[in-house]
Amino acid sequence: MSESRTQDLSDSSAEARKPVRSGKSSATIYDIAKLAGVNPSTVSRALSKPGRVSAKTQKLIEDAAAQLEYRVNPFARALPTGRTNTLALIVADITNPTFFGIIRGAESTATARDYTLMLAESAESADTELTAARRMLATVDGLILASPRMDDNHIRELAREKPVVVINRQVDGVPSVVPDVNKGIGEAVRNLAANGHRKVAYVAGPPQSWMTARRWEGVKAACEWSHLECVQLPSPKPTVDGGRQVARDVVASGATAVMTYNDLLAIGLMQELQAAGMQVPDRISIVGFDDIFGADFTTPALTTIRSPMTACGTEAATLLMEVLHGAEEVSPALQVETELVLRGSSGRLLVADHPA
Amino acid sequence: MSESRTQDLSDSSAEARKPVRSGKSSATIYDIAKLAGVNPSTVSRALSKPGRVSAKTQKLIEDAAAQLEYRVNPFARALPTGRTNTLALIVADITNPTFFGIIRGAESTATARDYTLMLAESAESADTELTAARRMLATVDGLILASPRMDDNHIRELAREKPVVVINRQVDGVPSVVPDVNKGIGEAVRNLAANGHRKVAYVAGPPQSWMTARRWEGVKAACEWSHLECVQLPSPKPTVDGGRQVARDVVASGATAVMTYNDLLAIGLMQELQAAGMQVPDRISIVGFDDIFGADFTTPALTTIRSPMTACGTEAATLLMEVLHGAEEVSPALQVETELVLRGSSGRLLVADHPA
DNA sequence: TTGTATGCGTTATCAG
DNA sequence: CTGATAACGCATACAA
* Sheet of strand B116-121, all strands in order from the earlier edge strand to the far edge: A333-337, A176-180, A164-167, A142-146, A86-91, A116-121, B116-121, B86-91, B142-146, B164-167, B176-180, B333-337
Span CA (A52) to C1' (C16), Å: 17
Average pLDDT, chain B: 88
A108 in contact with B, Cβ within 8 Å? yes
In angstroms, the CA A271 to CA A295 distance is 13
- B contact test, residue of A72, A83, A116 with most B CBs within 10 A: A116
Residue numbers of B between 251 and 280 with CB closer than 8 Å to A: 267
Q: Give chain B positions within 8 Å (CB) of A79.
A: 73, 75-76, 79
CB contact at 8 A, A137 and A179: no
Task: Encode B331-352: b = buried (16+ Cβ within 10 Å), e = exposed.
Answer: eeebebebbbbebebbbebeee
In angstroms, the CA B118 to CA B110 distance is 10
Q: Which of B75, B267, B297 sits opposite A75 (nearest CB)?
A: B75
A47 touches strand C (CB under 7 A): yes
pLDDT for the residue numbered B215: 97
Q: Is the pLDDT of residue B265 over 90?
A: yes
DSSP letter string, B77-90 = HHHHH---SEEEEE
In angstroms, the CA A131 to CA A128 distance is 5
Residue B252 burial class via C-beta count within 10 angstroms: exposed 0-12, middle 13-18, buried 19 and up: exposed
Span CA (B355) to C1' (C1), Å: 91
pLDDT for the residue numbered A326: 79
Hey, are the CB atoms on A121 and B108 less than 8 Å from each other? yes
Strands (E), B92-204: 116-121, 142-146, 164-167, 176-180, 199-203
Span CA (A52) to C1' (D1), Å: 8
CB contact at 8 A, A102 and A93: no
Give the CA diameter of chain B: 108
Q: Which residues, other chains included, contact A63 with Cβ-Cβ below 8 Å and sequence gap of 6+? A: A5, A36
B111 in contact with A, Cβ within 8 Å? yes
B116-125 pLDDT, tens digit per residue, is: 999 988 888 8
Give the amino acid at A155. I
Q: Is the pLDDT of residue B110 over 50?
A: yes
pLDDT tens over chain A, length 356 residues: 332 333 333 333 333 333 344 445 689 999 999 999 999 999 999 998 878 889 999 999 999 999 999 999 999 999 988 899 999 999 988 878 889 889 999 999 999 998 999 988 888 889 999 999 998 999 999 999 999 999 999 999 999 999 999 999 999 999 999 999 999 999 999 999 999 999 999 999 999 889 999 999 999 999 999 999 999 999 999 999 999 999 999 999 999 999 999 999 999 999 999 999 999 999 999 999 999 999 999 989 999 999 999 999 999 999 999 999 877 767 778 899 999 999 999 999 885 544 43
CB contact at 8 A, A114 and A107: no
Domains assigned to chain B:
3-71 (1.10.260.40), 85-178+309-335 (3.40.50.2300), 180-308+340-353 (3.40.50.2300)
pLDDT for the residue numbered B300: 93
Using CA coordinates, name the residue in chain B closest to A110: B120
User: A239 to chain B, minimum CA–CA distance in Å?
Assistant: 12
In angstroms, the CA A326 to CA A329 distance is 9
In angstroms, the CA B204 to CA B209 distance is 10
A80 touches strand C (CB under 7 A): yes
Q: Give chain A positions within 8 Å (CB) of B286.
A: none
Helix H or strand E encompassing B213: helix B210-225
A54 touches strand C (CB under 7 A): no
pLDDT for the residue numbered B151: 93
Span CA (A81) to C1' (D8), Å: 8
A57 touches strand D (CB under 7 A): yes
Looking at the C1' of nucleotide C12, which residue has the nearest alpha carbon? A80
Looking at the C1' of nucleotide D8, which residue has the nearest alpha carbon? A80
Of the pLDDT bands very low, low, confident and very high (cuts 50, 70, 90), residue B329 is low
Percent over 90 (pLDDT), chain B: 77
pLDDT for the residue numbered A327: 77
- The DSSP symbol for B164 reads E
Hey, are the CB atoms on A299 and B294 less than 8 Å from each other? no
Under 8 Å CB pairs connecting chains A and B tally to 103
Hey, are the CB atoms on A298 and B299 less than 8 Å from each other? yes
CB contact at 8 A, A274 and A284: no
Pairing outcome for strands B229-233 and B257-260: unpaired
> For B16-83, where are the alpha helices, taking DSSP H only?
29-36, 40-48, 55-67, 74-81
User: B356 to chain A, minimum CA–CA distance in Å?
Assistant: 35
A34 touches strand C (CB under 7 A): no
Q: How many Cα atoms sit within 13 Å of A22 on the Cβ side?
A: 4
Q: Which residues, other chains included, contact B82 with Cβ-Cβ below 8 Å and sequence gap of 6+? A: none
Strands (E), B138-185: 142-146, 164-167, 176-180
Three-class HEC string of A236-258:
CCCCHHHHHHCHHHHHHHCCCEE
pLDDT for the residue numbered B351: 58
Pairing outcome for strands A257-260 and A229-233: unpaired
pLDDT for the residue numbered A21: 40
In angstroms, the CA B235 to CA B248 distance is 11
A301 in contact with B, Cβ within 8 Å? no
Considering only CA atoms, which of B7, B25, B26 is closest in space to residue B70? B26
Span CA (A8) to C1' (D2), Å: 23
In angstroms, the CA B337 to CA A153 distance is 46
* Sheet of strand B199-203, all strands in order from the earlier edge strand to the far edge: B229-233, B199-203, B257-260, B285-290, B303-306, B339-341
Q: Which of A79, A135, A299 sits opposite B116 (nearest CB)?
A: A135
Considering only CA atoms, which of B141, B177, B145 is closest in space to residue B161? B141
In angstroms, the CA A150 to CA A176 distance is 15
In angstroms, the CA A177 to CA A175 distance is 7
